[in-house]
Structures are given as C-alpha cells and as structure tokens.
Amino acid sequence: MRVAGTLAVVTGASSGIGRAVAVRLAGAGCRLILVGRDEARLAEVARDTGGEVVVADLADSIAVAELAERLARDGAGPDVLVNNAGIGSIGPVAAQDGADLDRLLAVNLRAPVTLTRSVLPGMLERGRGHLVFVSSIAAILGVAGESSYAAVKAGLHVFAASVHAEVGSAGVGVSTIVPGVVDTEFFVRRGSPYTRRFPRPIRADRVADAVLRAVERDRAEVIVPAWLRVPVMVRSMAPNTYRRLAARWGGTS
C-alpha cells in the first residue's frame, strides 16, 4: 500500500532503527506518531519529521494499556503500526536474571502484541492497513549468549506469521523485518558493545528502507542484509552442518 497521506505509529522512535524508520516514512509522506521513553530525543525526531510525540515506557504494562487505548480511539486509528521498540540481553542462559527476562518479554513481545490487538480491529473494519514487526536474525538462527533475547524475538516472529495467516486476505498487510547486526546504541544499552569482526554492522537506514519497501510492496518477510538468507537456508536444509559452522564462526556477539 502507498504510505503517502497515511498515519503511522513507530515505537522505539527516539533512536536507531526507529528513528531511521520515522525519517524514511516522513519522507514518503506519512504523518507520524512517535513512541518512546526519551522525551528530549523524541522531540528532536519530531522536529525532523513533523511527528507527534507520545512518551511511554513499553516495559510498563499500564503505560502500554493506555497507549493501546489511545490508538484504538484516535479517530480511525493508524494505517501503519511499526512495532520496533526492543531491548537486548546478553550472558549465559544459566545466569539469566528473572527480572531481565520479564523486561525482555514485556518490551519485545507483550507490548507489540497488545498494540497490534488495539489497532487491528480498525484496520479490518477499513479493509486496509499494515503491521510491521522488527524481529532479528537471532530469532531464526539463535546466537550463543543471547538465548533469552533470541527466544523472545522468535515468539514475536511467529506471532507476526500467525497474524499474517489470519488477516492477510482481509486487506491488512503484515511484514516481518529481520535485521542482522545494525550500527545502533542497542549493544551498548544491553551492556556489551559489539566487538566481532564478522558480520559487520549495517546502517539503520538500510533497515528503514526495508520497512518502507515491505509496506509498499506488501512483503511478508524481509531479511536485511540479503546475504543472511544463506545461513538461514543452510540451517533449514542442513541443521547439523549449520551447527558445526556456527560453532566455528559464531559464538557470542
């Protein structure tokens, strides 16, 4: 669907992929609702995009419920929802802190599920709209030291696929964006900077381009960068071979 003139909600819009997506959608003619925790940085994005700022911590179930209620009642509701907000976690699974896992589940899974449920009825009633879920290559391949993060993102990935199967024939598009390593503040915020020599991080702008193409071309899944399709296919067709290769070249990011 063409995005010019539509209303789009972008979560995690204050920085990284979310900010890049907001800028790209604004450039394509979208009106924006920018959701995030950092009011000052959201205001900067709003100045660049003309978007409306909504400050909300998606780890807070009450804040998510209030945001969901607002999106459901705001006129006809948004035409596009980009579920981008996410947090990371790193470390051995045996040492996983329960509070960290709860926060991962809240931000990376519960919030997008709740927001999707709030905007979907309006989209179905209008017979148009688009849902975007920003997943991770970790959700497909698994990454040592990121087991909980990968598992929660895998849950989001399958949720998106299930929603696509449910509403795809009703005029509502559903796209899952699967980025590899992206050059953002994500790794610093999770408490461990990215130090591996391979694969090298890509710019957030490339993910934003993938989001816009997915919406306008109704793409169900986009892996970015595209070469990551190769390990995905190897894992699917020869899982034992993939595990041996991953043990040799993979490890903790």
Residue 203 has pLDDT above 90, yes or no: yes
1 within some domain: no
Annotated active-site residue in 3, 10, 149, 187: 149
188 within some domain: yes
pLDDT in tens, 75-107: 678 999 999 999 988 788 888 888 889 999 999
12 within some domain: yes
What residue numbers bound the domain in which 54 lies? 7-249
35 within some domain: yes
Q: How many distinct structural domains can be found in the chain?
A: 1
Looking at every residue in the chain, the average pLDDT score rounds to 92
Cβ atoms of 130 and 174 within 8 Å: the answer is: yes
Is 194 assigned a catalytic role? Answer: no
For residue 208, give the CATH number of its domain: 3.40.50.720
pLDDT in tens, 6-23: 999 999 999 999 999 999
pLDDT grade for 202, boundaries at 50, 70 and 90: confident
Cβ atoms of 131 and 116 within 8 Å: the answer is: yes
Residue 193 has pLDDT above 80, yes or no: no
Cβ–Cβ contacts within 10 Å for residue 189, how many?
A: 12
2 within some domain: no
